[in-house]
């Protein structure tokens, strides 16, 4: 059985940033990625997906993302190209495609059961993100609706909805960006729980990251400092807002076979619903460790599982580091996490040597 000091599960931006620092520390580590190529969740983003920050502020450690060759913030393809070149540049030890099915406790280490065999590790880092676990609310009648339903995770382009009556559900950045390009080609309504909050034009991902840091420092009793759900006016969203395409309506009560019923009792026939309603942590493979809480998260202290000391988590959201699900946040989280893991591993090794 192949054995390493550290095994990282997931091959996206968080794993690459962490791999950069672990390589510098000369740590013995391996990255297991279920995808068939580089890019992590970015491989599945829709065609026109944009970052919220300029390339220079959306980089992983060691190498700035090159400036784009077009106007505006980097696109999905720009990010994919950067991540592909990044892992090759630093020759990171990545094995793919490898699907981790479970992680188990065995004596003084953890074992990862995969579709290609078992791996042993003294420390496991869960960095699988959320993309593979989209969340759709349990709306009455959703299962009887005969039209098209997709989550933003499966959305590709507006061409699939041309000429149709479409509801885009969700008031975050994904909902705004998808609504912005569906509205010109379809009869589209944007459904949100409250009026969307648009950030000023000079606010982008840099500011959102700093807000996340301030929110974490303030703690549960602190004063809220904005949120990363506020909508960034990337060029397509700004243009749609100026056209009047980003006016939203409040949620419907239930769904029928052919449409929805609104709060006032009126019915509306629709062809499709695009659910932009978020994701949950993709951590089912940790089930045998009995560390998953009812909300799907793992209780952590400084990225380390409280219930399993050999398990670390990164890249899932603010609970695993401020803005850690973003490129900018992943870089900062990885630096501190790599230091914490290598210190812990050295401590364990010293104890083992003394016991001998």
CATH of the domain spanning 142-196+231-275: 3.50.50.60
> Could you give the CA distance from residue 312 to residue 75 in angstroms, rounded to a whole number?
31
Tokens describing residue 325 = 């699900």
pTM attached to this predicted model: 0.88
For the chain, 356 residues long, the average pLDDT of each consecutive 10-residue run is 96 97 96 96 88 82 89 87 96 97 96 97 96 94 97 95 97 93 97 90 67 57 48 88 95 97 97 96 96 95 95 92 84 93 76 56
Residue carrying structure tokens 């220079």? 56
Tokens describing residue 279 = 């994701």
Q: How far is CA 305 from CA 59, 293, 319, in A?
A: 27, 11, 12
Q: How many CB atoms lie within 10 A of CB 303?
A: 21
Interhelix angle for 76-89 vs 13-24, to 10°?
A: 20
In the chain, what are the domain boundaries?
2-132+279-355, 142-196+231-275
> Could you give the CA distance from residue 318 to residue 323 in angstroms, rounded to a whole number?
5
Among candidates 333, 340, 335, which has minimal Cα distance to 319?
333
Cβ contacts of 121 within 8 Å, gap of 6 or more: 3, 4, 5, 6, 7, 109, 110, 111, 112, 310
| Tally of residues, the chain | 356
**Angle at 212 (CA atoms; ends 211, 216), nearest 5 degrees:** 115
Question: Is the previous residue joined to 67 through a cis bond, with omega within 30 degrees of 0?
Answer: no
Give me the pLDDT at residue 223, please: 42
Give me the pLDDT at residue 69, please: 80
Tokens describing residue 155 = 């959305």
Domains 2-132+279-355 and 142-196+231-275 share a fold: yes
Would you tell me which CATH number, out of the four given (3.30.70.260, 2.60.40.420, 3.50.50.60, 1.20.120.420), belongs to the domain 2-132+279-355?
A: 3.50.50.60
């Amino acid at each position: 059985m192949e054995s390493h000091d550290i095994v990282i599960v997931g091959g996206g931006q968080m794993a690459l940033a962490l791999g950069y620092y672990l390589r510098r520390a000369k740590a013995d580590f391996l990255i297991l990625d279920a995808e068939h190529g580089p890019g992590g969740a970015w491989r599945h983003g829709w065609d026109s997906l944009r970052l919220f920050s300029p390339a220079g502020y959306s980089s992983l450690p060691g190498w700035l993302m090159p400036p784009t060759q077009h106007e505006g913030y980097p696109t999905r393809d720009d990010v994919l190209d950067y991540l592909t070149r990044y892992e090759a540049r630093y020759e990171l030890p990545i094995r793919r495609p490898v699907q981790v099915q479970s992680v188990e406790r065995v004596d003084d280490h953890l074992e990862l059961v995969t579709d290609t065999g078992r791996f042993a590790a003294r420390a496991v880092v869960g960095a699988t993100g959320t993309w593979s676990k989209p969340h759709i609310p349990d709306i009455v009648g959703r299962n009887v609706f005969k039209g098209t339903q997709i989550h933003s995770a499966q959305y590709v382009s507006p061409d699939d909805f041309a000429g149709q009556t479409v509801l885009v559900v969700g008031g975050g950045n994904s909902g705004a960006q998808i609504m912005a390009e569906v509205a010109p080609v379809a009869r589209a309504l944007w459904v949100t729980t409250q009026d969307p909050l648009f950030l000023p034009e000079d606010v982008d991902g840099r500011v959102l990251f700093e807000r996340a840091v301030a929110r974490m420092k303030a703690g549960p009793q602190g004063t809220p400092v904005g949120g990363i759900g506020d909508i960034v006016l990337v060029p397509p969203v700004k243009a749609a807002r100026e056209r009047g395409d980003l006016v939203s309506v409040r949620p419907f009560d239930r769904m029928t076979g052919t449409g929805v019923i609104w709060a006032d009792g009126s019915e509306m026939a629709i062809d499709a619903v695009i659910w932009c309603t978020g994701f949950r942590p993709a951590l089912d493979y940790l089930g045998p460790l009995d560390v998953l809480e009812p909300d799907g998260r793992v209780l952590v202290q400084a990225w380390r599982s409280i219930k399993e000391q050999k398990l670390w988590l990164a890249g899932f959201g603010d609970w695993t580091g401020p803005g850690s699900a973003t490129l900018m946040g992943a870089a900062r989280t990885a630096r501190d996490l790599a230091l914490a893991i290598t210190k812990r591993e050295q401590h364990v090794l010293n104890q083992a040597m003394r016991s001998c």
